Structure 1
Amino acid sequence: MTSPLNDIKTTALARRLSIAKTSLNIGKNWAKSGVTGLFLSKEERELQKHTLLQEQADYLVAELGKLKGSVVKVGQMLALYGENWLPPEVVRALHTLDAKTAPLSWQRIYEVLRGELGERVDDFEIERTPIGTASLAQVHKARHRYSGREVVLKIQYPGVAQAIDSDLSIFKQLLKVTNAVPQTKALDAWFAEIGALLHREVDYTLEANTTKRFAQYLANDERYVVPTIYDNYSSKRLICMSYEHGTPLSDTSLFALPTERKNALGQAAMELVLRELFEWGEMQTDPNFGNYLVRIDDAGDKLVLLDFGAIKQFDDKLLSIAKNLISAGFFQDQAQMQTAMTGYEFFDKLSGKPKADVASVFLLACEPFAKPDALPENTKTALLDDADRYIWAKSDLYQRVMSAAKSGMQSLEFNLPPKEMMFISRKFIGAYALLVALDARTDARVLMQPYITE
């Protein structure tokens, strides 16, 4: 594990100075490589360039991890969306941000706990080593001294809530300096949407209430487990909830489950995504595998849902458009998809080949939700089993969608997704990865039956 931090730079000035120092070090290394490269062949210079870029990207990510907070969140999102326009070395480094996030020292965490709970902190025996660290908080397991109940304490890092706006400004400045993306209205809207989500995510009273609401949504469905919130030990910067045991999605024991059990888990995971979008109008948009566990049980395996911070609520307009888009995807109908692409500037300014290209990308992304007889024969043969279930492990869908987006959207002003769709696409990307990891197969007709009229 990365060595614990004794403190976090929380003032805008301190965080800007840290980024400035990092940028300066990167600049020095590039300058040094330019001098040494004078004596290298063209092939050696190209290899040196890619090697140095990977080293500097790794260095930048390590420094961002020390800052914690919003800069890490934005970096994680860029890792998802940046494959079309960022160097692959940078994308690879950004994908490691979770692993590079160092924990905050126990002394500093205890100070936060004492500040939030006062003497009530003594009601717990708390494990000093965190069971989870992230960009905005870390989680410690504890035992309630009087009830013996096992709980977890999700503790927000000091100062990260106050640093959100300055962090977003820092990251925009970094992108501007590196010329990684054009500074457009689309970029401004993207950052504004991220900022709004982050301000909600650091309000733990809001997260606690959302957790309780999702527990009510799923109360009668034994396939899901939602933690219990203990309000008397929770605050705006601290959540106390029941400790829920389970197996991480990365654990190889899940691969050994019988195929039908893995299929049931996959079906439950994807059904949850669709219900969030089309029934409840609010979605947990963070696809991090650490937000889920599997409780293996011969009587019925369960998905344990651990985190409800990154919740995005959708208005009726977006939900109506999203339903029309996925309906077109179910029928794999190009004309229907183009008709459904309306209601937002991103869609309405498209025409001709760019609009057809975007529609084709959307149709491809909806492939797992398409009715079997709407798919091309070669796709059915390669990706559907004898029961017409979609075989996720064979699909390489994410790579195909990214490739199609890269080749088909070159004429667009800016190829980040429109802000209205950004978090939906983020969640589906995570769900696709989860289904591949489970080696699950899903039945599109069962998934789509509640939302499609044939």
Structure 2
Amino acid sequence: MSDLPRKAVTRTVKLAALPLGIAGRATWGLGKRIGGKSAEIVARELQQRTAEQLFRTLGELKGGAMKFGQAMSVFEAALPEEVAGPYRAALTKLQEAAPPLPAARVHRILAERLGDDWRELFSEFEDKPAAAASIGQVHRAVWRDGRRVAVKVQYPGAGEALLSDLKQLGRFASLLGPLIPGMDIKPLITELRDRVSEELDYELEAESQRIHAEAFEGDPDVVVPDVVHQGDEVLVTEWIEGTPLSEIISSGAQEERDRAGQLLARFLFSGPARTGLLHADPHPGNFRLVTGADGRTRLGVLDFGTVDRLPGGLPKPIGRSLRMTLDDDAEGVYGHLCAEGFVKKSIELDPDAVLDYLRPIIEPFEADEFTFSRTWMRSQAARIADPRSPAHQLGRQINLPPSYLLIHRVTLSTIGVLCQLGATVRLRDELEAWLPGFLPES
């Protein structure tokens, strides 16, 4: 058996073991309840054991398994502390780390993609990768003109691994749902699978990064490294030094947390307005806090492999709906949601009930500044996940149009990161500056 098929079989076996483990723990849980433990305690233990196995397995793999793990990791803030605590480090590791390719293999790939004389493009090249992620790894180097660069090398067979993993994960998505209260796992996996071709296309990624680098050139708050060279499955960009957001989350001072949160929110809302693109992979591994020569701290943004194309910026109906909700305009909000397809024509809902459902969600947009926290995130997740709550029942009747799916996930993911940071953010300032339709006169 060749090396590649053997690895594929190993991956499949590891992923296939996940639902078996979940089923086994369910049987174990039944025994514990019969033995006298309360249902709540048993459910918590089951959730913790399942999460530990899931993220341990995902952390050992690249491809779609790791991509899924990265997407899930930003929702860690929604989990109860006693469940989240034991494997928070594993989640953070998923954001930037994976077993690297050997140097000899990397050299062969570079020779195939950049030519046998690839070394002449660089004055220095570090064989040890600086970072390894779901579909490729990054090496530090110095370009022939003296610029420090990041060389992103795609793993051989990355596309097949992505599709195979996501297909396998999709088969038992419903079993993973309870890990993140209030989150539907299946649409997330479907969306990741639908965007595989984009994720693998370094030409598209280079174009998106160039657009952002040009739009944010000289910006006082955001730094986007420019593209230096793009080849088939190899992408060379300027290197930026900085503190990964994952480190700010784990050990940053409050001032750093607040600054990072404000800049992240600013990038989320200003990016589409300035570029017509939405950076759609907002996990902490893709951001840095960068201190410039002027002493000012900026947000360094990496990885433009997944973007949403929004030529007019974020859709104006989002801004209008938010404004109406803040103004307690139940009839206006409901009519707007119906017109945009969030409420199916076959369903009739109480406008006041819809407003009550939305009010807690938009709390961060209502105040001049808002402190995001894991406690707040958990309360929102619990409210929506509890089958007995009116919010859960109403939420099941609200439809998410396909054109809003990626925007919705990016917004939720960004809020998840803000809660991990525990940042105090003036979110309303960003809405007023960048969100079409939010201000009455716009």
Question: Given the alignment of the two structures, is residue 276 of structure 1 paired with residue 285 of structure 2, yes or no?
Answer: no
1:10-409 correspondence runs (5 A): 15-21=11-17, 23-24=19-20, 33=28, 37=31, 41-43=35-37, 51=45, 54-78=48-72, 96-97=90-91, 99-100=93-94, 102-107=98-103, 108-123=105-120, 124=122, 125-144=124-143, 146-175=144-173, 191-231=189-229, 234-249=230-245, 250-251=247-248, 255=253, 257=255, 266-278=261-273, 280-297=275-292, 299-314=295-310, 319-349=315-345, 350-353=347-350, 356-370=352-366, 389-393=368-372, 396-406=375-385, 407=389, 408-409=391-392
Shift of 1:204: 1.1
Q: Percent identity?
A: 23
The answer to which of 74-83 and 434-443 deviates more is 74-83
Pair 1:94–1:196, CA change in 2 (3 A): farther
- Where do 5+ consecutive residues of structure 1 fail to align? 1-6, 373-388
Q: Distance in 2 between matches of 1:160 and 1:314?
A: 27
Pair 1:59–1:319, CA change in 2 (3 A): same
Asked if structure 1 preserves the Cα contact closer than 8 Å seen for 2:343 and 2:399, the reply is: no
Asked if structure 2 preserves the Cα contact closer than 8 Å seen for 1:287 and 1:427, the reply is: yes
Pair 1:390–1:83, CA change in 2 (3 A): closer
Helix, strand or coil: the match of 1:352? Answer: coil
Q: Distance in 1 between matches of 2:19 and 2:372?
A: 40
Helix, strand or coil: the match of 2:343? Answer: helix
The TM-score with structure 1 as length reference comes to 0.75
Q: Deviations over 1:324-361 (max 9, x none)?
A: 223324535333322221345442355324x6545434
The TM-score with structure 2 as length reference comes to 0.76
Shift of 1:392: 1.9
| 1:431 counterpart residue number | 414
- Where do 5+ consecutive residues of structure 2 fail to align? none
The answer to which of 216-225 and 202-211 deviates more is 216-225
Q: Kindly tell me the number of residue pairs found equivalent between the two proteins.
A: 418
Asked if structure 2 preserves the Cα contact closer than 8 Å seen for 1:361 and 1:404, the reply is: no
Q: Distance in 2 between matches of 1:328 and 1:95?
A: 40
Q: Deviations over 1:257-315 (max 9, x none)?
A: 4xxx8766544432322223455442112121121111224543211111211211247
Shift of 1:171: 1.6
Shift of 1:254: 5.2
Q: Distance in 2 between matches of 1:334 and 1:92?
A: 42
Pair 1:121–1:362, CA change in 2 (3 A): farther
Q: Which has the higher contact order (CA 8 A, sep 6+)?
A: 2
Helix, strand or coil: the match of 1:410? Answer: helix
